[in-house]
Structure 1
Amino acid sequence: MKEDVPRPVRIAVGLWLANAVFVVFTTAGLWFQRGEVQRLTNWTSGQVTSFLTTLSVVALVFVAAYVWLTRLFLKRKNWPRIVLSFIAVLHMIWILFLGVSASNLVTLLLICAAIVFTWQARTAQWLAEVREQ
């Protein structure tokens, strides 16, 4: 990142990317625990595979969106921060739909913290400086 990037923006970017990485590792971890998923749900192997595949596809869509929008946000475009927040709310709803777990709570905390730093006054000022030039 460039030196002129304010601390709240650097923190927001770090949180968005940390969230993306965490989602990838959490989703991959579920594949290693597929036997446990099958035991807890009493689903067939095919049902577990279908569930994990759907979960993985949705997770990768969120991850791709976070990475792409964070990159555009760093280029000092305002609209990605709006879309990032919208995607994050959708992600939170998806997480709540799946149920409460430790990893889901960590993801929710990362999202909430990222939104807070994305919408801080210093971040808005940093984005506005580009429009003034």
Structure 2
Amino acid sequence: MTGQPPPVVRGAVAVWFALAAFLLLENVVLWLRREELERAAARAGDDPAVIPGLLGQLTAVAVGFGIGYGLFGWLLRRGRRWARGVLTAVAVLHVLWIVLPGAGAVNLVTLLLICLGLALTWLPGTAQWVKQH
């Protein structure tokens, strides 16, 4: 069956895409604040030379989650039933990544987007859409 997905599916996909974009934007902001982060590390008695390496690791994680949300969100829009499970797994890993070290204010936005995306992904309208494909 072809055609446009229902609004609930388009909403879910939009949230997953927005989350991917937010992660990448958040990462760009961290790189723009690199010197400030290095000064803060030096004030705290830590080695500021480790900041670029940490930012590189954060970039890799953000790109990984961003690709996951974007790719599997796109597959959800195309009606792939299994994409809901994979999106859920990616979201659970992401929540663990956020919560275990301690969530901050920016992470609250990420957590809210994850919750909204999961809610829309598992609503009956989405289930019906993927069942038809």
Do these two structures clear the TM 0.5 threshold for a shared fold by scoring above it? yes
Which whole-Å CA distance do the structure 2 matches of 1:63 and 1:4 have between them?
24
Computed over aligned residues only, the root mean square deviation of the Cα atoms, in angstroms, reads: 1.6
1:66-105 aligned within 5 A: 66-105=69-108
Q: Which residue of 2 aligns with 1:29?
A: 29
Which whole-Å CA distance do the structure 2 matches of 1:129 and 1:72 have between them?
14
Q: Percent identity?
A: 37
How far residue 3 of structure 1 moved from its aligned partner, in angstroms, is 5.8
Number of residue pairs aligned between Structure 1 and Structure 2: 129
Query: Counterpart of 1:99 in 2: which secondary structure?
Result: coil
AA matched with 1:122 = G
Which whole-Å CA distance do the structure 1 matches of 2:40 and 2:101 have between them?
14
Q: Which residue of 2 aligns with 1:124?
A: 127
Give the TM-score taking structure 2 as reference length: 0.89
Q: Which residue of 2 aligns with 1:12?
A: 12
Unaligned runs of 5+ in 1: none
Q: Is the 8 A contact 2:20 2:66 kept in 1?
A: yes
How far residue 98 of structure 1 moved from its aligned partner, in angstroms, is 4.0
Give the TM-score taking structure 1 as reference length: 0.89
